[in-house]
Amino acid sequence: MNDDLLPDEEAPPILSVSDRVQDFESCRGKVLQRFSQIEFQIDGLIAEYVNPAMGRQIFFKDVVLNSLVMPFNGKVRVLRHIASDTGWQALAKCGGHFSTLMETRNQFAHAHGRVAILMRLDENLSSISSDVTCRMLKISGSGEISQVDFRDAYQDFDKAASCIESALQEARRDIHLATPPPNSVQNMIDQFGAS
């Protein structure tokens, strides 16, 4: 190896392929866990709003809101109808974040990170720099396939998730103000009789 090609100063440490793959797997775990937590919060809001009859709450949560019965995008549509019905403004702030959240979750869930080692020579061929990246395939709504660095996808997911989590917290406060406690309607009917 020709030492003339190496820079005089010590080069910064380069992440190895295994380090980058570990970073990718760590991000994948964080994305899947956070997505599940958001879906759980959405399930809770829908259940609170619908307020199923006593004895039906477990059925409603375990069957009706089960992801196999009602997928995430269906839950988001229900949540948007509830927001429209109640006048919640919090969800309007999210715009396309629900789509970003779902698409990025699917990218991480189904991706096999492709590791690339990029080597760069300066124009004088006297300096070499390199970077190890891990990329995922991204398929647009029109079917166009591209590659995206997993770190960029994770940042997009984090931004979308933060907006949605904030909106869900605000909606949870609103639902507690807008809906009576679970048995209060039945208590009023019992007390005053059904008309």
User: Tens digits of per-residue pLDDT, 86-106?
Assistant: 878 888 788 889 999 998 998
Cα(128)–Cα(160) distance, integer angstroms: 37
Arithmetic mean of pLDDT over the chain? 76
Note the helical H segments in the chain.
Answer: 17-50, 57-59, 72-86, 97-110, 150-178, 184-192
The predicted structure's pLDDT at residue 84: 84
Q: Tens digit of pLDDT for each residue in 159-179? A: 999 999 999 998 888 766 555
| Confidence band, pLDDT 50/70/90 cuts, at residue 118 | low
Asked if residue 154 has pLDDT above 60, the reply is: yes
Q: Is the dihedral of CA 27, 28, 29, 35 positive or negative?
A: positive
Residue whose C-alpha is closest to residue 164's, from 84, 85, 106, 80: 80
- Asked if 24 and 108 count as a contact pair (C-beta separation under 8 A), the reply is no
The pairs formed by 144-147 with CB atoms below 8 angstroms and a separation of 24 or more are 147/114
121 pairs with which residues across the strands? 128
Q: Which region among 123-127, 146-150, 162-166 has the lowest average model confidence (pLDDT)?
A: 123-127
Domain ranges within the chain, ordered by starting residue: 3-179
Cα(143)–Cα(74) distance, integer angstroms: 22
The larger pLDDT score, comparing residue 97 to residue 136, is at 97
* Nearby residues of 91 by Cβ (< 8 Å), 6 or more positions away: 79, 80, 83, 167, 171
Question: Residue 182, Cβ neighbours under 10 Å: how many?
Answer: 14
- Asked if 8 and 128 count as a contact pair (C-beta separation under 8 A), the reply is no
The predicted structure's pLDDT at residue 3: 46
The predicted structure's pLDDT at residue 116: 60
